[in-house]
Amino acid sequence: MQDIYDSKYVEELFDKMSSSYDRMNYITSFGFSSAWRKQCIKDIDLRNSKVIIDLMSGMGECWKPIAKRAPQNVELIALDFSGEMVKHAKNRASKIKLEKITVLKEDVFNNSIETELADCVISGFGLKTFSHDQLDALAIQIERILKPNGQFSLIDVSVPKGKVLKFFYLFYLKRVIPVLGWIFLGNPSTYKMLGVYTENFQNSKEVKRIFEKYDFEVEYIEYFFGCASGIKGRKLVIAPTNQAAI
Ligand SMILES: C[S@@+](CC[C@H](N)C(=O)[O-])C[C@H]1O[C@@H](n2cnc3c(N)ncnc32)[C@H](O)[C@@H]1O
């Protein structure tokens, strides 16, 4: 059976979706996706940042709201492993009012980002395609690349709590979206996976539990009755142990 969390499988899925991702992302979230991205970015203070990292950056969908809130001379480093998404992102970079945008085509679990480089790490809709162990590995990477006291904000679509909303939301994701996928891509199975990942993911509560194992202060956030959820917080500053006391 196909492992849907296998990196190669996910990379190919996004390569295939890249031509219609923008439109489909807007439709699948009922047009809420851009508002949720803005909220995710508003949830942390970018004003004094020198380096901001956008993980699972796709085509750079988070960059406009970042550019609105960050100092213009900030260095934005975006990372994604899908060659097609990265290609679109590089085209978008010249349209964003930020001095320096670097797009890395890399796997987040094997990345070249320097340790303690980032003031802030953000990620829009990049969590649901990770298994529990991969989310754990993501927490380790974010802890590594953030400066002490550095902030993070991560968001993804989720399954709402209310029974009626949940029924319609899942019906929409699992039945309507594949039809839209067929219309846009001629392939219903690719977009069917969005429903599968979202149902497995449920919400960001497990992500919060995982991040709490590490040196983070973490807060869980829900958007629009739980149709999206995320975590935000900061990397704790760990006081050095007193060697002289030994
Ligand atoms: C749902 S898209 C999100 C794109 C964008 N951040 C947004 O706000 O819409 C998820 C992205 O995560 C990328 N991705 C998934 N797993 C990854 C990994 N292990 N390393 C790097 N990128 C990954 C995919 O290629 C895809 O572009």
What percentage of the chain exceeds 70 in pLDDT? 97
Task: Note the pLDDT of residue 176.
Answer: 84
In the predicted structure, residue 198 carries a pLDDT above the cut 80: yes
Task: Note the pLDDT of residue 243.
Answer: 61
Site to probe by mutation for ligand 1, drawn from 39, 41, 81, 86 as the one with most ligand atoms within 8 Å of Cβ, is 81
Could you report the per-residue pLDDT of 134-156, keeping only the tens digit for each? 999 999 999 999 999 999 999 99
Confidence class for position 178, pLDDT limits 50, 70, 90: confident
**Cβ–ligand 1 contact at 28 (below 6 Å):** no
**Cβ–ligand 1 contact at 13 (below 6 Å):** no
Query: Whole-model pTM?
Result: 0.94
| Alpha carbons 59 and 95: distance in angstroms, whole number | 12
Q: For the chain, which domains are there? A: 10-18+30-159+201-245 (3.40.50.150)
Task: Note the pLDDT of residue 245.
Answer: 55
Partners of residue 228 on adjacent β-strands = 157, 223
> Which of the two residues, 103 and 179, has the higher pLDDT score?
103
User: What is residue 174's DSSP assignment?
Assistant: I
**Cβ–ligand 1 contact at 14 (below 6 Å):** yes
Sheet containing 216-223, strands listed edge to edge, beginning at the edge strand earlier in sequence:
100-105, 75-80, 51-55, 118-124, 146-157, 228-235, 216-223
**Cβ–ligand 1 contact at 109 (below 6 Å):** yes
In the predicted structure, residue 202 carries a pLDDT above the cut 70: yes
What percentage of the chain exceeds 90 in pLDDT? 72
Least confident of 29-43, 97-111, 215-229, 232-246: 232-246
Which value, to the nearest 10 degrees, does the dihedral of the CA atoms of residues 94, 43, 114, 73 take?
Answer: 40
